[in-house]
Chains A and B, each alone.
Chain A
């Protein structure tokens, strides 16, 4: 297969203009360590999906759907925008998007860290199950919808119905929240939350932010039990 490894940096280069997506992902799946640069993604779907080893993967350009989906252990950087469902169902490792992310970023993800340096569109962190998500800009409507565990940090604003039908995730927002979804309420920022948020911001590289400038949101736990009055 036409892959190229630079002997000086030990970086493997995989060019999607030359290789098929299947060849690129197969090569990534066979590697157990190392650094890889994937060039010319041009919006292709599922780039670097299903990784299970501690690779350092840079995708040099804009990605399509499900980039770095199901990630385990790898650290993936998208040097552009990401399409629907970036890092969906991530288990561990990290995914960083330098540009904006489309809808459903980090959907159902169980672990790891997803950083979106730009904005994330609708349903960011939908059904998140333990992942940490830090968004440099704003998130769209219905973000953290049915979130079950994990933390979502939004440095900008949140769209309509933030945290709709949320279970136990913790949401931190610095800007405005257009509206809260069913059973999502604002909660006090206690010292453990300030410490937790500071740690998340540091991990994501946003060390200039003052954690005290954020608000915290979470579940009122009113939907855990059936009540006729829960008809929203």
Chain B
């Protein structure tokens, strides 16, 4: 099944509660998939401090202090490494491309789970509630968060197979469903030089969107292209630092419900993930129509 949750906050008074609200939403979706989980948080000042680039790293193969020393020596900048569960969040006051290159050089076997100016991505194998507790997610702050609980169908239960897929700067994608023609599209992207971390179908979707955005398309155009090229079942939540978008395939059998108030927009696979949000009783609740792109920006 898999479960998706996402929260896009409009009212800055709620920013300190992002992690608490997102934890509650993620926990409610544990029954839809409990083999692994992940979240993406936009704007936490401890994990992605303002003015710092941030890279989320899984399976770095060394202690966090060793990685911090290595990166500091290599870049000449003060690099911090924050261990959160099995993820290390690396941040430093420099350009994200430079920090990403330094991390890849220092820990070539590590999996980069996400990178950007405001984005922290945490993912792992295990029960979603346990993972969220290990990350200290309830204390996270920020303006936007996305989460996923996985019931693996298309690739192995590994951290690389867990969502979100954050393969472009400050971009993130989570998916409920399966892509039928992902092998074909993966071959086409590989021919263009795109590198994959897993055999997961969703990673193909994420890299397709990242490639389209890198080519200069906006989120809406990128998702229209995805709808035209990908076969299969999908409800997708696609975010970047300013936007929050939902799209479903033409059949739309994978569930999705959106709730909107003046203070926030939230999306989840099921209503019960939204039930604890402040002001939910007055929210506008609706189910996204097939192949229609819903996008909100800050």
For residue A89, CB closer than 8 A to chain B, the reply is no
Contact A64 B270, CB 8 Å, known A42-B275, A84-B255, A141-B252: yes
For residue B79, CB closer than 8 A to chain A, the reply is no
CB atoms of B252 and A103 under 8 A apart? yes
CB atoms of B255 and A102 under 8 A apart? yes
For residue B286, CB closer than 8 A to chain A, the reply is yes
For residue A121, CB closer than 8 A to chain B, the reply is yes
Residue-wise interface mask of A (10-54) relative to B, using a CB-CB cutoff of 8 A (1 in contact, 0 not): 000000000000000000000000000000001110000000000
Query: Which residues of A (78-99) have their CB < 8 Å from a CB of B?
Result: 81, 83-84, 99
CB atoms of A64 and B272 under 8 A apart? yes
CB atoms of A103 and B275 under 8 A apart? no
CB atoms of A43 and B252 under 8 A apart? no
CB distance from B233 to the nearest CB of A (A): 13
For residue A100, CB closer than 8 A to chain B, the reply is yes
Main secondary structure of the interface of B (DSSP, over half): loop
CB atoms of A103 and B255 under 8 A apart? yes
Tell me which of A64, A65, A81, A84 contacts B285 (CB under 8 A). Answer: A81
What is the CA–CA distance of A12 and B270 in the complex, to the nearest angstrom? 28
CB atoms of B287 and A43 under 8 A apart? no
Taking CB atoms, residues of chain B closer than 8 Å to A42 are 272, 275-276
Residue-wise interface mask of B (15-30) relative to A, using a CB-CB cutoff of 8 A (1 in contact, 0 not): 0000000000000100
Residue-wise interface mask of B (31-65) relative to A, using a CB-CB cutoff of 8 A (1 in contact, 0 not): 00000000000000000000000000000000000
CB atoms of A102 and B257 under 8 A apart? yes
CB atoms of B286 and A100 under 8 A apart? yes
Taking CB atoms, residues of chain B closer than 8 Å to A103 are 252-253, 255, 287
What is the CA–CA distance of A84 and B254 in the complex, to the nearest angstrom? 10
For residue B290, CB closer than 8 A to chain A, the reply is yes
Taking CB atoms, residues of chain A closer than 8 Å to B257 are 102
CB distance from B14 to the nearest CB of A (A): 20
How big is chain A's contact interface, by range? Answer: 20 to 34
CB atoms of A44 and B272 under 8 A apart? yes
What is the CA–CA distance of A115 and B183 in the complex, to the nearest angstrom? 44
CB distance from A90 to the nearest CB of B (A): 21
Residue-wise interface mask of A (134-163) relative to B, using a CB-CB cutoff of 8 A (1 in contact, 0 not): 000000111000000000000000010000
For residue B274, CB closer than 8 A to chain A, the reply is yes
Query: Which residues of A (94-145) have their CB < 8 Å from a CB of B?
Result: 99-100, 102-103, 119, 121-122, 140-142
Contact A43 B253, CB 8 Å, known A62-B275, A141-B290: no
The closest CB in chain A to the CB of B255 belongs to: A84
Taking CB atoms, residues of chain B closer than 8 Å to A159 are 289
Contact A99 B285, CB 8 Å, known A122-B252, A141-B252: yes
What is the CA–CA distance of A102 and B271 in the complex, to the nearest angstrom? 10
CB distance from B18 to the nearest CB of A (A): 21
Task: Provide 5 A-B residue pairs closer than 8 Å at the C-beta atoms, listed in order of the A residue.
Answer: A43-B28, A43-B270, A64-B271, A122-B252, A141-B289
Q: A102-B255, A122-B253 are in contact. List 19 more A-B contacts (CB 8 A).
A: A42-B276, A43-B270, A43-B272, A43-B273, A44-B272, A81-B285, A99-B285, A100-B286, A102-B257, A103-B252, A103-B253, A122-B287, A122-B290, A140-B287, A140-B289, A141-B289, A141-B290, A142-B251, A159-B289
- Give me the 10 closest cross-chain CB pairs, A-B, nearest first: A43-B272, A43-B271, A42-B275, A121-B287, A43-B275, A62-B271, A122-B252, A64-B272, A81-B285, A102-B287
